[in-house]
């Protein structure tokens, strides 16, 4: 039996186990997906222990995505983003990947969003970094708006210096209305909308030409998505990004096409 797992703290409410185990059961794969919750300062030891125990792969979530870099050989994208959320123990040292970035792109592609033109990313934290590098890698122009301008400036400089096709510029949050005029894609990469019915984007800035992806998935329908739909925009909830980062990890680990519909059903059943 192959054993896969999730490394995080906390992990008790994770949606990854039912999503992955539904895929194993559907394809008849002899595997299980378990969770690990080590102390916050034990990321490297946890990865080394997982390798010793013979795990095939690990997903990684908060607060370990940056710390596990020291225990793996990150691919170029994960190294640029500065975070790993998928570990493959098929090599020594284990390989580190960031499927948040590819999950974002696959979620957009699933909804027939063209990956060209100009994108606005709200937030410069972990999800914002993944989004900015992913979209710039598709040769898009990326505008990064963040509450702390210095973080956006640093991220934009890193994205542009990576020379991956697109470029990035930094802006304060109060510039969003102007930035969204003529933009093609909007990604909310902040947690705004998770704890309260709020949106990080002014309602009047939304328009029908936009494709709007909100990385928040609890609740699935956020205020941003409701207001974007009212404005005529195409809307993509955060569960799609969560789904496709899991799909990408599954396919890397198993070498098989993921049963996307089965995984989506398991995820949305748990989300209610």
Reported CATH class of domain 2-97+240-271: alpha beta
Q: Looking at the whole model, is its pTM more than 0.75? A: yes
Burial tier of 239 (Cβ tally within 10 Å: 0-12, 13-18, 19+): buried
The answer to whether domain 2-97+240-271 and domain 101-236 are alike in fold is: yes
* Residue-level pLDDT at 12: 87
20 is catalytic: no
Q: Which residues are paired to 214 by β-bridges?
A: 188
SS3 content of the chain, % helix, strand, coil (to 5): 45, 20, 40
Considering 20, 65, 97, 106, which one is annotated as catalytic? 65
Q: Which residue has the tokens 């409701």?
A: 226
| Residues 165, 186: Cα–Cα separation, whole Å | 19
User: 101-236 maps to which CATH number?
Assistant: 3.40.50.720
Instruction: Per residue of the chain (272 residues), give pLDDT as tens.
Output: 999 999 999 988 899 999 999 999 999 999 999 999 999 999 999 999 999 999 999 999 999 999 999 999 999 999 999 999 999 999 999 999 999 999 999 999 999 999 999 999 999 999 999 999 999 999 999 999 999 999 999 999 999 999 999 999 999 999 999 999 999 999 999 999 998 999 999 999 999 999 999 999 999 999 999 999 999 999 999 999 999 999 999 999 999 999 999 999 999 999 98
The two tokens of residue 232 are 């005529």
Residue 256's φ and ψ, nearest 5 degrees, are -120, 155
| Residues 263, 272: Cα–Cα separation, whole Å | 14
SS3 for 213?
strand
* Residue-level pLDDT at 30: 97
* Residue-level pLDDT at 193: 93
256: nearest Cα among 26, 1, 6, 19 = 26
Of how many residues is the chain composed?
A: 272
The two tokens of residue 81 are 């983003």
Q: Where are the domains of the chain?
A: 2-97+240-271, 101-236
55 in Cβ contact with 3 (< 8 Å)? yes
């Amino acid at each position: 039996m192959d054993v896969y797992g999730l490394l995080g703290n906390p992990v008790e409410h994770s949606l990854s186990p039912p999503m992955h185990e539904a895929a194993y059961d559907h394809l008849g794969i002899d595997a299980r997906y378990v969770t690990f919750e080590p102390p916050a300062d034990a990321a490297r030891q946890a990865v080394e222990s997982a390798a010793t125990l013979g795990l095939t792969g690990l997903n990684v979530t908060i607060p370990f995505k940056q710390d596990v870099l020291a225990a793996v050989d990150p691919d170029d994208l994960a190294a640029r983003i500065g975070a790993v959320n998928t570990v493959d123990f098929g090599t020594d040292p284990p390989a580190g990947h960031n499927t948040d970035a590819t999950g974002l792109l696959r979620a957009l592609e699933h909804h027939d969003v063209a990956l060209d033109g100009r994108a606005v990313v709200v937030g410069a934290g972990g999800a914002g970094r993944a989004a900015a590098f992913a979209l710039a890698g598709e040769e898009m122009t990326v505008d990064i708006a963040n509450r702390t301008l210095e973080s956006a400036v640093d991220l934009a400089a890193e994205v542009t210096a990576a020379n991956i096709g697109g470029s990035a510029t930094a802006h304060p949050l109060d510039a969003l209305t102007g930035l969204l005029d003529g933009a093609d894609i909007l990604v909310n990469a902040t947690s705004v909308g998770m704890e309260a019915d709020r949106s990080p984007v002014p309602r009047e800035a939304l328009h029908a030409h936009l494709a709007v992806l909100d990385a928040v998935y609890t609740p699935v329908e956020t205020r941003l998505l409701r207001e974007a739909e009212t404005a005529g925009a195409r809307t993509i909830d955060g569960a799609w990004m969560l789904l496709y980062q899991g799909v990408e990890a599954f396919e890397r680990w198993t070498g098989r096409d993921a049963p996307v519909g089965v995984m989506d059903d398991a995820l949305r059943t748990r989300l209610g």
